[in-house]
Structure 1
Amino acid sequence: MHLILRTILMLFRSARRAPLTIWDTSSLPMRVLPTDVDIAVHVNNGMYFSLMDLGRFDLMVRSGVWKRMRRRGWSPVAAGETIAFRKSLQLWQRYTIETRIIGLDTKAVYFEQRMVSDGEIYARAHIATRLVARGRPVSQDEILEEFGQPPAGLELPEWIHEWRIANSLPGARTPAPHAWHS
């Protein structure tokens, strides 16, 4: 909830920006604020994913998908994330959050997001997002009914499948006892 005011402002502004399709790339202009930085005066590594939430919301709002998802009672939840850092975003620096869907499978919708400043990638993340309604996952058929068919040739990179398997935890209804293994 630390970004709640920023999220509300972004939702209001995104609704007035140029429309996109859900398969387009969103570019959300931002500036590093004092609440984004750590003691080293650069964006805290934990903030990147929170800020990237805003980029995904911008894409969903501008494409009209957010309104349709809310009408159907769907909520997005992150199922897995990975990030790589190249440079540090500094206090007051301007940057954009670039967001696009890179594919989907029966389990998730996959986003690639980039923090970009002066044409340079500072960080890149891949996020697997599930849509849920009333405690159950939304099916791929239902998602495509709302999102429309993806562009021809949109295919998940093979490493994404491998990453999801290697990074997965048991489902919420399966026991996952805590025990460190040597």
Structure 2
Amino acid sequence: MHLLLRTLVLLFTSSRRSPLSIWDTASLPLKVLPTDIDIAMHVNNGMYFSLMDLGRFDLMARSGTWKAMRRRGWSPVAAGETIAFRRSLHLWQRYTIETKIVGLDEKAIYFEQRMVADGEIYARAFIATRLVSKGRPVSQEDILREFGAPPADLELPEWIHEWRETNALPGARRPAPHVWA
């Protein structure tokens, strides 16, 4: 619940920060709060993804994408995530969440996000996202028509294709029985 309020505040304040293109890199300054940490007094590993949501919302709000999505009835959902940790973020530590789109394919929009403190990467994640409307995926054609073509040099790294292929679950309309192999 604490991130719901934080997200609403962020959407309000981000729209008043300097505007960006959806294809730019957004930098969101934050501080580690008591609600972000675990018993070891550092950011909980699961919390990184929740905090990274804030970075993506910041980019969407500052680029005008969030308003356009809401107007069209589109909602963002995560389809896959992977993260690597290098150092721990501790209580009251200042850091930034750096967010940028690194590519698209026929099914997803891919973000790279970094937690950065003192010029050093503390954690890095790649997130595959989809836009949905009324429970169905929004086509990439509709997305690009609404938000414009990506930069010509934007090319999704090959390893991301492999990661998505080997990590993907069946679509929600296909069975995915729980059986340990």
Q: Could you tell me the TM-score, scaled by structure 1's length?
A: 0.98
User: What is residue 17 of structure 2 aligned with on the other side?
Assistant: 17
Name the aligned partner's letter for residue 47 of structure 2: M
| Residue type of the alignment partner of 2:41 | V
Map 1:1-182; keep pairs closer than 5 Å: 1-181=1-181
Q: Greater shift after overlay, 159-168 or 2-11?
A: 2-11
Separation (CA, whole Å) in 1 of partners of 2:167 and 2:128? 11
Tell me the distance in 2 between the aligned counterparts of 1:5 and 1:129.
22
Residues 55-111 of structure 1: per-residue CA shift (max 9 Å, x gap):
000000000010000000000000000000000000000000000000111100000
CA distance in 2, matches of 1:83, 1:144: 27
Q: Which runs of 5+ in 2 are unaligned?
A: none
Distance in 1, Cα, partners of 2:101 & 2:2: 25
Q: CA deviation at 1:136?
A: 1.0
Q: Cα distance, 1:4 vs. partner?
A: 1.0
* TM-align CA RMSD: 0.6
Describe the SS at the equivalent of 1:152: coil
TM-score normalised according to structure 2 size = 0.99
After superposition, what is the alpha-carbon deviation per residue over 1:2-51, rounded to whole angstroms, capped at 9, x for unaligned? Answer: 30111111111101000000000000000000000000000000000000
Q: How many residues in Structure 1 have an aligned counterpart in Structure 2?
A: 181
Counterpart secondary structure, 1:99: strand
Structure 1 unmatched ranges of 5 or more: none
Equivalent-residue separation in structure 1 for 2:140 and 2:113 (angstroms): 22
Letter in 1 for 2:16: R
> Kindly, what percent of the aligned residue pairs are identical?
80
Q: Using the alignment, how far apart are the partners of 1:2 and 1:169 within structure 2?
A: 30
Whole-angstrom CA distance in 2 between matches of 1:146 and 1:100: 18
In the TM superposition, residue 152 of structure 1 has moved relative to its aligned partner by 1.1
Q: For 1:125-148, what per-residue CA distance to the aligned partner results, in whole angstroms no more than 9, with x for missing partners?
A: 000001000111111110101111
